[in-house]
Amino acid sequence: MILIYGVSLLPVGILRIFRSAKPLEQQEKEHPELEPGGHYRPPNCTARHRVAIIIPYRNRAEQLPPFFNHMHAFLQRQQIEYSIFIVEQTGNDPFNRGFLMNVGAIEALKRYKIDCFVFHDVDLLPEDDRNLYTCPDQPRHLSTLVDSLGYKLLSVDMFGGVTSLTTEQFKIVNGFSNKFWGWGGEDDDMGNRVKFHGFLITRYPLNIGRYTMLTHKKAVPGPDRFKNLYSGSKRFATDGINSAKYKVLDIKIKPLYTWIAVQLYNS
């Protein structure tokens, strides 16, 4: 087995999931291979895929230690060049997951040359490192089966939780909608965008695309989610990364990740 700083550089298949982990300060000392901001380059090759992991975030501090404990080792075994961005929504407006992922993509492209994005909920941990976070030929739904849903694929049109698009695909579909304030709808809208623009939603085999969900308080559903979803196709060209109005309040280059605090403006 090839080891770098105690991390195997070969996939191991099915992984053990730990729902708790060492504090981030201690984990930081265990990852000298990382460049500032949670950026990693394979030490023994030139990566074929440069990936930005975008995490929409608010008030989930307890989930960060198990997430980073799991994900850095997981990603490094795949021999990709990657950066992890935590995009935190400030203020008291309802959480807007899609908007935050647009912001993360826009800000990531200002810092690195990126081939593709993985949009990743912080409460989901992949159970198999054959689930590759590489750049897909077609948009990819990575979190096919989740333990909290009984490991069942509820719909062939599902496109939430953890998804991947190339930079070009993301720009073609104009990113996510910025209109979904509160839980729900933005992932279905993105799935509609993908299909509207002639792409296919792809998945790995069901035994590979399995995830564990970390426990958390249920979010409040957005009251306008169905209305915005049904009228979404009218806004695909005007509601997305080309209309995202926000203000970056702070950026911190952490050892394990880049943290971006933003204020979102309703447009």
For 159-197, how does the pLDDT look when each residue is reduced to its tens digit (9 = 90+)?
A: 999 999 999 999 999 999 999 999 899 999 999 999 999
Paired with 8 in beta bridges are 3
Q: In this predicted structure, what is the pLDDT of residue 3?
A: 45
pLDDT at position 9: 64
Tell me the mean pLDDT in the region 142-166. Answer: 94
CATH class, domain 33-264, is alpha beta
For position 219, what pLDDT does the model report?
Answer: 76
Collapsing DSSP to helix, strand or coil, 122 comes out as: coil
Residue with tokens 């750049």: 135
What average pLDDT does the segment 201-214 reach? 96
Rounded percentage of the chain residues whose pLDDT exceeds 90:
88
**Average pLDDT for 67-95:** 97
Closest CA to 183 of 219, 144, 215, 139: 219
**Whether residue 218 has pLDDT greater than 60:** yes
Residues 246 and 265 sit within 8 Å (Cβ to Cβ):
yes
Flag the least confident range among 6-10, 46-50, 100-104, 231-235.
6-10
Q: Establish how many alpha carbons lie within 13 A of residue 68's alpha carbon, considering only the half-sphere containing its beta carbon.
A: 28
Does the pTM surpass 0.85? The reply is yes
CA quadruple 107, 65, 162, 2: dihedral, nearest 10 = 100
- The phi and psi torsions of 160 (rounded to 5 degrees) equal -130, 180
- Residue-wise pLDDT for 39-58, tens only, equals 999 998 899 999 999 999 99
Q: Break the chain into its structural domains and give their ranges.
A: 33-264
CA dihedral 67, 68, 73, 75 (to 10 degrees): 80
**Average pLDDT for 204-220:** 89
pLDDT score recorded for residue 2:
44
158 backbone dihedrals φ, ψ, rounded to 5°: -60, 140
Query: What is the mean pLDDT of the segment spanning 4-32?
Result: 84
On the question of pLDDT at 148 being above 80, the answer is yes
